[in-house]
């Protein structure tokens, strides 16, 4: 059985890496988004192999099912000329290389100077419950809603702020027409319909 | 069953079992899809005082097969400028997603391919991915009508998924598990359709929106955008979309039965009801939900786009959120909450 698990692991990870590469390489942005969704789904597969089925499903629901949909939405609306020279010019290549080099440097600096505060270490050591008695959803929620409750709430607040911001950006007192459905539905036949008896050959003046 | 197969065939027994289970689900499902289209036409015909299909075979019973063969032998047309790969992936993905979700649906106690802990989340994940079939089809067709249809569809499916998720959380709270078998077993005393009756109604409406059925069939509204996202598809591609749509309907009614109508449990735990095997109850209940689907199609006019969004965000979302808080409070203060261990 372990052989099968190994085989599945390599399948997921190879597909994952290859599609991650395709996200960057493919010319068409819509294809990039579709490859990214493949990455998410294969990542979820890897989570399942780690017995983290809750995380796997949440990854698919949140990222593949909601976030990537919005990406797709935007990218599909763009009228990009993705064969044009602008995307492949030497200038962008140089800028890209520079940004990449800086990020790589950052990564090295961080890894060499990384230290973990003892408090965080203590939190990490919160006992893992026996997974044969509790499902990992319950185990996760027990930690999330006790030790990490403030971090969890803060994350929620940040998302709320983002949402309020987005709503505010689109919410202006505009002069556009508003439709009040209840008013529309409350209209009666007498207000909208008038039956005329029309004599033959005369019509309505 | 897996053990017996392993004895018979050695290590390959597990794989053979899986393949047999898949066939045992997919084959009846395809036949049900075929006859669901037949039932739909017959019911709508009856409601409109027509006869419905009655020419091919006795009582028109062979009509679905006639349709299938017609579609099979038609020419596959690819529009110019279409993205061929995505164009052909889209219908396959749609059908595939409608099929894989069946892996976690319990037909009877123990009759489930994969009895996973997060079954309900799995269903949500798979039904969430179903949008991609529609979006890919709309984009790859390189047609304005198709694109408009797919944009509408994406917005609609995302909107109704939110309230669906909240409704499901209420049920999970009461059942104490995300495993579908456990959810059914938690309904031994009284069905969740009774306890959560308002949510049951909302859920039935939501699944109609989620599967793009009338009165929420804006993505394919024939009058404005011809046939929406699958306007450019012909032959097998179109057939796959059709299969996917109906398979999704059957799937969603199955989910509804599991969540609210007690799955395979008989309505009353008494003698004449318990004589009938559970799987028959399961299919009967599914048939009832499917009938609601069909008769809604013959009864209701299509929603306008802004009405649809309003219903999803301004009516369903607050209602289901309120009900979730109510459920959690009642469970907490009465001390009736189930054991959340498993």
Q: How confident is the model over A34-51, as a mean pLDDT?
A: 89
Q: Which among B309, B311, B300, B293 is positioned nearest to B152, based on CA atoms?
A: B309
**pLDDT score, position B4:** 66
**pLDDT score, position A156:** 92
The answer to whether residue B226 scores a pLDDT higher than 80 is no
Q: Two tokens at A152?
A: 């969890």
Q: How confident is the model over A41-58, as a mean pLDDT?
A: 88
Of B83, B118, B124, the CB nearest to A53: B118
Q: Two tokens at A155?
A: 């994350």
Residue B308 distance to chain A (closest CA, Å): 11
**pLDDT score, position A20:** 92
B139 touches chain A (CB under 8 A): yes
Task: Mark yes or no for CB contact B121/A58 under 8 Å.
Answer: yes
Which pLDDT tens digit goes with each residue over A121-131?
A: 776 666 666 66
Q: Which among B269, B282, B265 is positioned nearest to B182, based on CA atoms?
A: B265
CATH architecture assignment, domain A1-79 = Up-down Bundle (1.20)
The answer to whether residue A82 scores a pLDDT higher than 80 is no
The answer to whether residue B340 scores a pLDDT higher than 70 is no
Lowest mean pLDDT among A57-61, B223-227, B295-299: B223-227
**pLDDT score, position A83:** 55
**pLDDT score, position B167:** 92
What residues have CB less than 8 Å from B335, skipping those under 6 apart?
A: none
Cα gap B186→B196, rounded to integer Å: 14
Q: Which among B294, B282, B276, B217 is positioned nearest to B255, based on CA atoms?
A: B282
The answer to whether residue A84 scores a pLDDT higher than 60 is no
Residue B275 distance to chain A (closest CA, Å): 35
Cα gap B256→B293, rounded to integer Å: 12
B151 touches chain A (CB under 8 A): yes
**pLDDT score, position A87:** 55
Task: Find tokens 């008695």 and name the residue.
Answer: A133
Which of residues A136 and A64 earns the better pLDDT score?
A: A64
B122 touches chain A (CB under 8 A): yes
Q: Which among B152, B150, B70, B161 is positioned nearest to B121, based on CA atoms?
A: B161
Cα gap B285→B317, rounded to integer Å: 27
Which of residues B10 and B192 earns the better pLDDT score?
A: B192
The answer to whether residue A161 scores a pLDDT higher than 90 is yes
Q: How confident is the model over B263-275, as a mean pLDDT?
A: 79
Q: How confident is the model over B273-278, as a mean pLDDT?
A: 79
- Of A107-116, B42-51, B212-221, the range with the highest mean pLDDT is B42-51
Cα gap B339→B342, rounded to integer Å: 8
**pLDDT score, position A174:** 65
The model's confidence at residue B6, banded by pLDDT at 50, 70 and 90, is low
Which of residues B84 and B99 earns the better pLDDT score?
A: B99
The answer to whether residue A134 scores a pLDDT higher than 80 is no
- Of A61-75, A138-152, A183-197, B192-206, the range with the highest mean pLDDT is B192-206
SS3 content of chain B, % helix, strand, coil (to 5): 75, 0, 25
**pLDDT score, position A126:** 62
Of B118, B132, B135, the CB nearest to A57: B118
> What residues of B are in contact with residue A69 (Cβ under 8 Å)?
131-132, 135, 154, 158
**pLDDT score, position B240:** 87
Q: How confident is the model over B122-134, as a mean pLDDT?
A: 87
Give chain B's end-to-end CA distance (angstroms, integer). 24
Task: Mark yes or no for CB contact B341/A133 under 8 Å.
Answer: yes
Largest Cα–Cα separation, chain B:
64
Q: How confident is the model over A8-24, as a mean pLDDT?
A: 91
Q: How confident is the model over B1-5, as a mean pLDDT?
A: 61
Of B116, B128, B342, the CB nearest to A65: B128
Lowest mean pLDDT among A177-181, B144-148, B219-223: B219-223
Of B117, B136, B151, the CB nearest to A53: B117
The answer to whether residue A112 scores a pLDDT higher than 80 is yes
Which of residues B28 and B77 earns the better pLDDT score?
A: B28
pTM of the model: 0.83
Cα gap B276→B265, rounded to integer Å: 10
The answer to whether residue A175 scores a pLDDT higher than 70 is no
Q: How confident is the model over B42-68, as a mean pLDDT?
A: 86
B100 touches chain A (CB under 8 A): no
- Of A112-121, B144-153, B292-301, the range with the highest mean pLDDT is B292-301
B124 touches chain A (CB under 8 A): yes
Q: Which among B235, B189, B212, B192 is positioned nearest to B302, based on CA atoms?
A: B212
Segment A45-50 long-range contacts (CB within 8 Å, at least 24 positions apart): A45/A8, A45/A12, A46/A9, A46/A12, A46/A13, A46/A16, A49/A5, A49/A8, A49/A9, A49/A12
The answer to whether residue A86 scores a pLDDT higher than 60 is no
Q: How far is CA B319 from the centre of its chain?
A: 23
Spell out where chain B has E strands: none
Asked whether the bond before A198 is cis by omega within 30 degrees of 0, the reply is no
Report in angstroms the alpha-carbon separations of B324 from A16, A39, B162, B318: 37, 33, 13, 10
Q: Two tokens at A13?
A: 């990870």
CA atoms within 13 A on the CB side of B173: 20
What is the interface pTM, i.e. ipTM, of the complex? 0.81
Which pLDDT tens digit goes with each residue over B57-74?
A: 788 888 888 888 888 888
Task: Mark yes or no for CB contact A30/B86 under 8 Å.
Answer: yes
Cα gap B331→A9, rounded to integer Å: 41
Q: How many CB atoms lie within 10 A of CB B317?
A: 16
Task: Find tokens 């008013």 and name the residue.
Answer: A183
**pLDDT score, position B338:** 77
């Amino acid at each position: 059985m372990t052989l099968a698990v190994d085989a599945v692991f390599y399948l997921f990870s190879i597909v994952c890496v290859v599609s991650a590469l395709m996200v960057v390489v493919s010319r068409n942005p819509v294809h990039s988004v579709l490859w990214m969704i493949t990455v998410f789904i294969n990542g979820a597969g890897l989570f399942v192999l780690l017995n983290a089925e809750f995380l796997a499903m949440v990854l698919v629901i949140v990222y593949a099912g909601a976030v990537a949909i919005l990406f797709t939405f935007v990218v599909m609306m763009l009228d990009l000329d993705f064969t044009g020279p602008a995307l492949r010019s030497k200038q962008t290549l140089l800028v890209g290389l520079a940004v990449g080099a800086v990020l790589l440097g950052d990564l090295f600096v961080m890894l060499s100077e990384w230290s973990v505060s003892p408090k965080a270490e203590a939190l990490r050591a919160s006992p893992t419950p026996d997974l044969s008695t509790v499902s990992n959803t319950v185990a996760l929620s027990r930690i999330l809603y006790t030790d990490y409750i403030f971090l969890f709430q803060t994350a929620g607040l940040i998302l709320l702020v983002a949402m309020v911001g987005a709503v505010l950006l689109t919410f202006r007192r505009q002069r556009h027409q508003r439709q009040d459905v209840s008013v529309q539905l409350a209209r009666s036949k007498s207000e909208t319909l008038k039956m005329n008896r029309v004599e033959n050959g005369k019509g309505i003046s | 069953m897996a053990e017996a197969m392993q004895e018979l065939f050695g290590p390959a027994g597990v794989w053979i079992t899986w393949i047999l289970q898949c066939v045992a689900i997919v084959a009846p499902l395809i036949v049900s899809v075929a006859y669901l289209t037949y039932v739909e036409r017959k019911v709508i015909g009856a409601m409109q005082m027509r006869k419905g299909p009655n020419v091919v075979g006795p009582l028109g019973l062979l009509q679905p097969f006639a349709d299938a063969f017609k579609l099979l032998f038609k020419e596959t047309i690819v529009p110019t400028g279409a993205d061929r790969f995505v164009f052909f992936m889209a219908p396959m993905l749609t059908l595939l997603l409608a099929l894989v979700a069946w892996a976690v649906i319990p037909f009877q106690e123990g009759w489930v391919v994969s009895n996973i802990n997060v079954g309900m989340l799995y269903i949500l994940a798979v039904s969430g991915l179903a949008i991609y079939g529609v979006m890919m089809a709309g984009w790859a067709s390189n047609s304005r009508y198709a694109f408009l249809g797919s944009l509408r569809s994406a917005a609609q499916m995302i909107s109704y998924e939110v309230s669906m998720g909240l409704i499901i959380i209420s049920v999970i709270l009461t059942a104490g598990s995300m495993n579908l078998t456990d959810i059914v077993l938690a309904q031994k005393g009284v069905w969740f359709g009774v306890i959560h009756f308002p949510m049951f109604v909302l859920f039935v409406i939501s699944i109609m929106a989620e599967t793009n059925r009338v009165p929420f069939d804006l993505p394919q509204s024939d009058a404005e955008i011809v046939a929406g996202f699958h306007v450019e598809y012909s032959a097998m591609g179109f057939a796959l979309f059709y299969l996917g749509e109906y398979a999704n309907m059957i799937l969603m009614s199955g989910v509804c039965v599991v969540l609210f109508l007690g799955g395979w449990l008989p309505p009353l735990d008494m003698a004449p009801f318990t004589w009938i095997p559970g799987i028959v109850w399961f299919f009967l209940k599914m048939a009832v939900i499917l009938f609601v689907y069909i008769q809604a199609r013959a009864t209701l006019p299509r929603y306008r786009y802004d009405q649809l969004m309003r219903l999803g965000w301004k009516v369903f979302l607050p209602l289901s959120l309120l009900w979730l808080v109510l459920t959690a409070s009642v469970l907490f203060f009465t001390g009736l909450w189930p054991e959340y261990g498993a």
